Structure 1
Amino acid sequence: MAWIERYLSVVGVKVEVLREHGDTSPVEEPMDDIMAVLASFSGCFYPLRSKQNQRRLARDAAMR
């Protein structure tokens, strides 16, 4: 992390750490990882569901 801060300071960027790595409890860190994975998967499934609904609505409209 220190080398990133040094590099960014050369180009005029200041790094602020919002949460130190050691601030999490042993339960909190894996839970954050699980939530990140769930967020990633849900982001992948929403477009699929949307396309399926669009096809279903188009099919239903054609049948009417």
Structure 2
Amino acid sequence: MRKRYERINLISKELSKEAYKAYAGKRDYKRAVEIYVLLAESMCVPDDISNFAKNMMGRLSKKIDENT
């Protein structure tokens, strides 16, 4: 179980970094939203990453509203 937890934690962090790069660097909001929804809604994702993803989804919704 410990290996599984560590693996999920590592993958979640990598996904979070990828989503942030899509949001901040590439301005690919669609990709960022897809990843953040996955991180926020999955039950196996650690709480700190899930909370960060929910926060970033709020920021993304504001950015998308500003651009439309």
TM-score class, shorter: 0.3 to 0.5
**TM-score, scaled relative to structure 1:** 0.37
**TM-score, scaled relative to structure 2:** 0.35
Q: Which has the higher contact order (CA 8 A, sep 6+)?
A: 2
Q: Which has the larger radius of gyration?
A: 1
